[in-house]
Structure 1
Amino acid sequence: MANELKLGTYNLLRVKEPARREGFGEVFGLYLDGGREGEILMPQKYVPEGAKPGDEIECFVYLDQDERPIATTEKPLATVGDFAYLECAWVNEYGAFLNWGLTKDLFCPFREQKKRMEIGNSYIVHVHIDEESYRIVASAKVEHFLKNGTQTGLKRHQEVDILVWQKTELGFKVIVNNRYPGLIYRDQIFKYVHTGDRMKAYISSIRPDGKLDLTLQPTGMAAAEDFSSVLLQYIKEHNGYCPLGDKSDPEVVKRLFQVSKKVFKKAIGDLYKRHLISIEADGLHLIASLVK
């Protein structure tokens, strides 16, 4: 028995038969078994070479221009349930259409836009199935789709995946693990960050309201140990010398290493205690016996 078809995501569907034009015999694709949804067409341009009846094909299923399910081996930039940073390709009297990597663009109606989308600009959106029309649509009102982070099983210091959402006076709002709201404070950012960036981050605290505070570096001793190896490698690659020390300007440290002064000082202490460096008035020096 075929699995239930899932619109807007990947399905493993069995090939039933070639799709032929009536009266001509010309093959224009394959019919796949969509279970209760019936036969699903995969147009010929998406058919894997050598595919035949009985084979199973992993494919993405969405609706064509006539709102019929159609299968493709194209890979969209987002599936139903995802948050993504997508570019506006065109606009009509009903809304905007976003490039999400498929031949048919993703519709974002005006009612789901915070401000009118403009061609060429990119926006953070949530991809979902509209309950009324059953169409796959996007919404820029992403806060409506974020979950509360209190009952997540997430813990302090845990590594997570983030999508940078928007800049604020405090720092950057982010979306954590494709689900939860989070914030990286301005003083915790030591490299250039832009809306749409995807990266790793670390939970520094879980607030009572469920929102997550994050940093871009490991916290506590893990951060110092992680950066210690980076600092040691830098010194080795620069003739056994680093011009900065524990009294250096935090902004200079930030520009050179993209870490906080606190993490930098802990790393210095770690390397010094391990007898790998000496601390001099002009900076840090690799212990002579280690210099090659």
Structure 2
Amino acid sequence: MAELGKINKLKIISKSKNHFVLDGEQYGDLWLKIKDIDFFERTQKNSLIQVFLYKVTDNEVAVTIDKPKAEANQCALLKVIKISEHGAFLDIGLPKDLFVPINQQRKRLRKDSHCLAYIYLDKKTGRLLGSTKLNRHLMEESDELEFGQQVSLQIWEKTDLGYKAVIDDKFIGLIFKQDAYRSLSFGEKLTGFIKNIREDKKIDLLISQKANTESHYELDKNILNAVNVSGGTLNITDKTSPEEIYKKFSVSKKQYKQAIGRLYKKRLIKIESERISLI
């Protein structure tokens, strides 16, 4: 099934002068003008080609071989190229610019400035729109991310606490000042790691593998210290409530289970039904 706002592989069903006619599946036959004559001549009928599908009006679907700077449900740093009374237009690398309505602008956009925009399909029209109100479209809480997990980040804004970042085009998390070993730039893309999922499910981030390894090490060390202080056994297991685990170690239940799993594999502890203990 062809998807609006996405790159699709569509079949060429005929060729006419400098046009391909593509099988747009539920959108019917789609005409694609090709400027590259060599490409046109060497591409045969029934071939599959990658094209971007989008609406130019509420009722008209267009197709282009141009690759956009981002697809639907992704974020991208884009330049503002035009301002109107109804909103702003961003260069997304397509024949038609990306429209950001005024009510989707966190701050009023200015011509020639750059903004981090989330690209989405309007539910009523199916047309591609942009938004700089990222927290309307991205989640600030997560049940699915795991302690230590590697993720893709894009820096959104600097705050008093550190840097807010987009995680995998789906979540928003925080890199604390002390965990940012260098200055980070607006819109910068980098690899990061999940440092912590807080009790309120907010997401803390790290930006170095070394810091990620150290974070694992600190939690493992804290658990071993707690077992030692308790006389060699600790009545906190993978069956203990998330609240009690967080109160003791300031980590989620999932993080705690992963940590005692690491300690068990290293043969440092044994895990019983109601306690963990030193070997």
TM-score (norm 2): 0.71
Q: Is the counterpart of residue 32 in structure 1 residue 29 in structure 2? A: no
Q: Is the counterpart of residue 215 in structure 1 residue 212 in structure 2? A: no
Task: State the partner residue of 2:85.
Answer: 93
Distance 1:90 1:114 in 2: 17
Unaligned runs of 5+ in 2: 216-279
Map 1:76-115 → 2, pairs under 5 A: 76-115=68-107
Q: Is the counterpart of residue 130 in structure 1 residue 122 in structure 2? A: yes
Distance 1:65 1:28 in 2: 24
**Kindly, what percent of the aligned residue pairs are identical?**
28
Q: Is the counterpart of residue 56 in structure 1 residue 48 in structure 2? A: yes
Map 1:1-20 → 2, pairs under 5 A: 4-19=1-16
Q: Quick one: structure 1 residues 45 and 94, their matched pair in 2 at CA, closer, same or farther if it must change by over 3 Å?
A: farther
- Counterpart secondary structure, 1:161: strand
Letter in 2 for 1:163: Q
Task: State the partner residue of 2:147.
Answer: 156
Q: Is the counterpart of residue 41 in structure 1 residue 38 in structure 2? A: no
Q: Does structure 2 conserve the Cα–Cα contact (< 8 Å) formed by 1:157 and 1:218?
A: no
Q: Is the counterpart of residue 145 in structure 1 residue 142 in structure 2? A: no
- The RMSD of aligned alpha carbons is 2.1
Letter in 1 for 2:31: L
Q: Quick one: structure 1 residues 211 and 45, their matched pair in 2 at CA, closer, same or farther if it must change by over 3 Å?
A: farther
Distance 2:192 2:91 in 1: 27
Unaligned runs of 5+ in 1: 20-26, 225-292
The Cα of 1:219 is off from its aligned counterpart by: 5.0
Q: Quick one: structure 1 residues 126 and 211, their matched pair in 2 at CA, closer, same or farther if it must change by over 3 Å?
A: same
Task: State the partner residue of 2:178.
Answer: 187
Distance 1:155 1:111 in 2: 34
Letter in 2 for 1:56: L
Alpha-carbon displacement from aligned partner over 1:13-59 (angstroms, at most 9, x marks no partner): 0101124xxxxxxx241110011211112112268342222111111
Alpha-carbon displacement from aligned partner over 1:157-193 (angstroms, at most 9, x marks no partner): 2221101011111111011111111000111111121
Q: Does structure 1 conserve the Cα–Cα contact (< 8 Å) formed by 2:163 and 2:177?
A: yes
Task: State the partner residue of 1:119.
Answer: 111
Letter in 2 for 1:9: K
Distance 2:170 2:205 in 1: 15
2:159 aligns with one of 165, 168, 185: 168
- Aligned positions, number: 213
Distance 1:118 1:80 in 2: 23
Q: Quick one: structure 1 residues 101 and 223, their matched pair in 2 at CA, closer, same or farther if it must change by over 3 Å?
A: farther
